[in-house]
A and B are shown apart, each in its own frame.
Chain A
Amino acid sequence: MSKKVRKVRPVGTLGIYIGSGMMAAMLLAGLLIPLFGKYDANEISADQIMPPSRDHLFGTDMLGRDIFARVFDAVFIDIGTAFAGVLIPLAVGTIIGTLLGISRNRKFNSFIGSLIDGINAFPFLIFVIALVAFLGAGLGSIILALSLVNWARYARIARTRAVVVNQQGYVEAARTLGYKPTRILFRHIIPNVSSETRAYALSDFIIVIIAVAALSFLGLGVNPPQAEWGAMIKDGANIITLAWWSAVFPGLAICWAGISVAVFSEGLSARIGEGNQR
């Protein structure tokens, strides 16, 4: 019987493709448009507050700058800040949480544990705003503030997971084989703990993209001439009744970035979920 075997596409593949495609398109546009675009992001190229036209696809802002150029000039500023603001706490939180999970000192463990709970008790955005206030506005302090706040969330996840991983057979086996503790930690425990924290990092990435823009929207982000989505929305909000385009296009850029991550992570979790259950 020569029945053709139908290729079964795993669940969620479409989501993974669409999500990564959307993100890749945005990053590519963020790379190419500032290089080869018609206008410079900070160049006053037309009259103020011009509606979208063929020459200025997204219109111009209140200073007469091309919004199309500015939206794509901000891609790497926004995505890059959010990326650093996720990666640093992911690494720090995973390592600290894992060490707590495998340590046997109960007093120390519950002491740091309650500190982690204390940090997590603050509303995320409020704590970041307060830290940025003390560190001074700017992208560097936004990344630092995000790291100082978010490591505790990763640490909590990692700690719970590390307690489980630490009792698994393969860790016991590695111990019996007499491997060095550092090797067991980095080769056997952390990779298995971080599968969980990395999954959280993906959904955290969306929250952080929005938070970075929100901080700039509140005036705590970039310094003025630099194009940044939140700051552009803030400028546009003042003239929104006159010129809807000045706030709507940067807003759509944030949505595009967030949705690409959301679709990607939805596809990924559908695929992982399928693997686990069936």
Chain B
Amino acid sequence: MASSTIDPGAPADEISAEQRVPDKNRIALRRTLLGRFIRSLVVAFWVMFIAFSLLRFSPGDPIRLALGTDATEEAVAEMKQRYGLDQSFFVQFYDYFTGFFSGDLGTSFFSQREVTEVIAMHLPVTLMIILLSMGAAILISIPIALSVALSRRASITYFFRTSTSISLAIPGFFLALLGLLLFGTVVTWVPAAGYEGNFPSNLKYLWLPALVNCFSLVPILSRVLHSSLMDTLDEEFVETGVIRGVGKLKFYWSYMLRPSLAPTVVLVSYMVGIMIGGTVVMEMIFSLPGIGRELIEAVSTRDYAIVQGIVMIFGFIVVFTSFIGDLLGYLLDRRVTLS
């Protein structure tokens, strides 16, 4: 073995930041992050373009749908002009694009509500459910992954792998119904209906949807954390930590979890998309006033302007969080290479 210049026994946070990133690397880091940022912007542009095109390429005339079958030609033409639908595709897209930066995503064809208003009103509930379920998933996954990794027994690992892949096959909406059956009728821990908007009191309504939602994340999260913990356990500094007799808490955190967290953090950010999908279903089942229920309602009434706006915002959230996730992953573990 070649002698290394850095003491392998020292965990990452005992080395100062200057030592870890020499100047040349820092420039390279800046360049990769800038490249990643620009790529995110390009992807965000595509997201907007795709969401916009959905409406324009859909079969059927949305205006005729909104006005009903007995609308006169003049009324249709007048409405088309009002919404700018008589213009060419690219002019419309340009208007939509510039409108976005002044906070205008159009108005609903039916209710005349502004799309941005609808999103601003209902997005907080959805984000709250997502944050709660991600927090719960992390809290559940860490002890599971840690104990499976430390047990080092093949049978436990096998059981862990099988049970996680089986639990991925259970649909969230089915689990939610079972939860409602159990906590709504057998024991009444969940209010039957209604919703209260303020923070601590709305937890009463949100805890079960968030818990059910996190069950689609826990298997994936704990598996990735487990395999990255297994990689960490093979590192030399873990052995050094044992020999040094580091305190239990410090050992778990600095020697095992922190070096293993980077892939998990990146994964969590990528899982936001799946969480959003699950949240929509939860909002429908628990009748919560989130943006997902708004989306389904808009879909069933064919309120295309609203559908387009909500789909786009969800796409933006995913692009943004995966960028942040890559960034955090890099800060946690400088060995991560940004793809």
A24-32, A63-71, A114-122, A182-190: which lies at the B interface? A114-122
The answer on a CB contact under 8 Å between A129 and B296 is: yes
The answer on a CB contact under 8 Å between A114 and B42 is: yes
Residue A164 interfacial (CB < 8 Å): no
- Give the bracket for the number of chain A residues in contact with chain B: 35 or more
List chain B residues, Cβ under 8 A from A265.
Answer: 165
Bits for B141-177, please: 1 = Cβ < 8 Å to A, else 0: 0000000000000000000011001101111111001
Contacting A218 at CB < 8 Å: which of B174, B273, B296, B315?
A: B296
Majority DSSP secondary structure for residues of A touching B: helix
Residue A96 interfacial (CB < 8 Å): no
Residue A131 interfacial (CB < 8 Å): yes
The answer on a CB contact under 8 Å between B276 and A255 is: no
Residue B319 interfacial (CB < 8 Å): yes
Which residues between 180 and 196 of chain B lie within 8 Å of chain A, taking CB atoms?
Answer: 180-181, 184-185
List chain B residues, Cβ under 8 A from A247.
Answer: 174, 177
Residue B203 interfacial (CB < 8 Å): no
Contacting A133 at CB < 8 Å: which of B51, B274, B276, B299?
A: B299
Bits for A208-249, please: 1 = Cβ < 8 Å to B, else 0: 011001100111100000000010010011001100100110
Residue B328 interfacial (CB < 8 Å): no
List chain B residues, Cβ under 8 A from A134.
Answer: 54-55, 57-59, 304, 307
A43-51, A165-173, A256-264: which lies at the B interface? A256-264
Looking at the assembled complex, report how far the CB atom of B111 sits from the nearest CB atom of chain A, in whole angstroms. 17
The answer for the CA separation of A209 and B109 in the assembled complex, in Å, is: 34
The answer on a CB contact under 8 Å between A121 and B318 is: yes
- Give the bracket for the number of chain B residues in contact with chain A: 35 or more
Contacting B276 at CB < 8 Å: which of A126, A230, A258?
A: A126
Bits for A126-148, please: 1 = Cβ < 8 Å to B, else 0: 11011111111000000000000
List chain B residues, Cβ under 8 A from A84.
Answer: none
Majority DSSP secondary structure for residues of B touching A: helix
The answer on a CB contact under 8 Å between B314 and A126 is: yes
List chain A residues, Cβ under 8 A from B180.
Answer: 240
Residue of A nearest to B285 (CB): A237
Contacting B173 at CB < 8 Å: which of A114, A115, A217, A266?
A: A217
The answer on a CB contact under 8 Å between A241 and B273 is: no
Contacting B300 at CB < 8 Å: which of A213, A219, A262?
A: A219
List chain B residues, Cβ under 8 A from A261.
Answer: 169
The answer on a CB contact under 8 Å between A251 and B174 is: yes
Looking at the assembled complex, report how far the CB atom of B180 sits from the nearest CB atom of chain A, in whole angstroms. 7
List chain B residues, Cβ under 8 A from A217.
Answer: 173, 281
Residue A254 interfacial (CB < 8 Å): yes
The answer on a CB contact under 8 Å between B43 and A118 is: yes
Contacting B169 at CB < 8 Å: which of A117, A121, A122, A262?
A: A262
The answer on a CB contact under 8 Å between B171 and A255 is: yes
List chain B residues, Cβ under 8 A from A213.
Answer: 171, 173
Residue B252 interfacial (CB < 8 Å): no
Looking at the assembled complex, report how far the CB atom of B147 sits from the nearest CB atom of chain A, in whole angstroms. 21
List chain A residues, Cβ under 8 A from B278.
Answer: 125
Residue of A nearest to B292 (CB): A126
List chain A residues, Cβ under 8 A from B169.
Answer: 206, 209-210, 255, 257-259, 261-262
Question: Given A122-B315, A262-B168, A131–B54 Cβ distance below 8 Å?
Answer: yes
The answer on a CB contact under 8 Å between B277 and A114 is: no
By CB atoms of chain B within 10 A, which of A130, A132, A233, A251 has the most?
A130
Return 15 A-B CB contacts under 8 Å, by A number.
Answer: A118-B46, A121-B273, A122-B311, A123-B276, A123-B314, A130-B295, A132-B299, A210-B169, A213-B171, A214-B172, A233-B177, A236-B177, A240-B181, A251-B171, A251-B174
Closest 3 CB pairs of A and B: A118-B46, A258-B169, A125-B277
User: A residues within 8 Å of B by Cβ?
Assistant: 15, 114-115, 117-119, 121-127, 129-136, 206, 209-210, 213-214, 217-220, 230, 233, 236-237, 240-241, 244, 247-248, 251, 254-255, 257-259, 261-263, 265-266
User: B residues within 8 Å of A by Cβ?
Assistant: 39, 42-47, 49-51, 54-55, 57-59, 161-162, 165-166, 168-174, 177-178, 180-181, 184-185, 272-274, 276-278, 280-281, 284-285, 295-296, 298-300, 302, 304, 307-308, 310-311, 314-315, 318-319, 322
